[in-house]
Structures are given as structure tokens and as C-alpha cells.
Amino acid sequence: MNIALTGGFADPARDAAHAFRAVTEAMARPGMILTVTGANPPRISAAAGITLLTLCDTTTPLHLAGATDTAELRDWIAFHIGAPLVTAEKAAFALGDWRSLQPIDRFPQGLPDYPDRSATLIVEMESLSNQGPRLTGPGIQHHAHLSLPETAAFRANAALFPLGLDFILTSGDQLAALPRTSRVEDN
């Protein structure tokens, strides 16, 4: 069987609803790590695939960076999502590991009149934990901690508010989010 035809949501209505709830909960509560299930995409984590299935469609420009840009994943996206694949400069969403997404300032960061016209980067991580830099801001009662690939880029991104990028970090079946409203401090 063609790998592109498998790995989508097994129960699309139920799985999509659970996934949407998890992604929105992660964005509303930066630093919270959530477990998601329901998809098995090729060559990327289940959480990254679930995020793509939940947030992307045929009108969502998507950029695949580095090792995520494979024929298998392109075919899977074409079959399950239909998102047009674009360069970084035109992306609404981008997927890759931290290194392959660099430099992040090449992605749309919004416009003064339209800050929502910015990209969301889905960052594939080796693991996620509630260890690491301190997070504060909207959705965080006191503070939270989240393993991040670095802190300087996230601090610079937050300084651009209301412009800037939003981030969803994925590893295995886990995801966490870091919206542009979150302030990041070294421990």
C-alpha cells in the first residue's frame, strides 16, 4: 500500500476534535506539554503530523525545511491535507528541526496593520520537558519552564509583539506551544 494513503486520522471527526482541542490548549497555556494521538505520518513525529492535519488545509501555504522535505511526506501532505508547499518567505506554517528553520527572520512576521499574517513554526525536537528557560506572560499563572533549543531567538521574537512568530514544539506524541506573547528568560 502507498504510504501516502495511510497515517491520517483513523476517526477523522473525533480525532480532529481532540487534536484541535490539544493544539488550542497548548497555545492558550504556553509551556504545557500535551499528548496527542490519532495519526501516524511518515518521517515526522505523530504530534507534528497531527498539528498539520489540524491546522492546515488546501489554502494554507506550508514550508518543509531540511530533513522533513521528503517525497514521502510531500505525498502524505498532498493526499491528507492538500496544503500548497512554498518557500519560507511565503509560508503560513513551516515544519522542521530548529537548525533547518534558521534563520527564522525569513518567515513572515506579520504587518503592523495585519499582525496575524505571520508564520507558525512547527519545531521538531528530540524531546520535550518542563525543564529549561522560564516562561511568563498571558496564559501562564506565575511562570512555566520548557525545554527550548535556545533562548535568544525566542526573546527577540517576543520583543517584536504584536508582530512575530508563533511556535509549536513537537516530539513523538507530545506537543507544546510558545506564542509570541510569551517572555523567555534564562534560568
Residue 168's domain is classified under what CATH number? 3.40.50.11310
From 73, 56, 55, 75, select the one nearest 64 (Cα to Cα).
73
pLDDT of residue 116: 92
Determine how many CB atoms are found less than 10 A away from the CB of residue 136: 18
pLDDT in tens, 16-62: 899 999 999 999 999 999 999 989 999 999 999 999 999 999 999 99
Comparing 12 with 78, the larger pLDDT belongs to 78
pLDDT of residue 1: 56
Distance CA 5, CA 1 (A): 8
- How high does pLDDT run on average in the chain? 94
CA angle 61, 164, 185 (to 5 degrees): 130
Q: CB neighbours of 33 closer than 8 A, spacing ≥ 6?
A: 128, 129, 130, 146, 174, 175, 176
Alpha helices by DSSP H, the chain: 12-28, 46-55, 71-80, 152-159
**pTM, to two decimals:** 0.95
pLDDT in tens, 86-105: 999 999 999 999 999 999 99
Structural domain of residue 71, as residue ranges? 3-185
The answer to whether 57 touches 82, Cβ cutoff 8 Å, is: yes
Question: Domain tally for the chain?
Answer: 1
Q: Give 4's pLDDT tier (boundaries 50, 70, 90).
A: low
Residue 165, SS3 per DSSP: coil
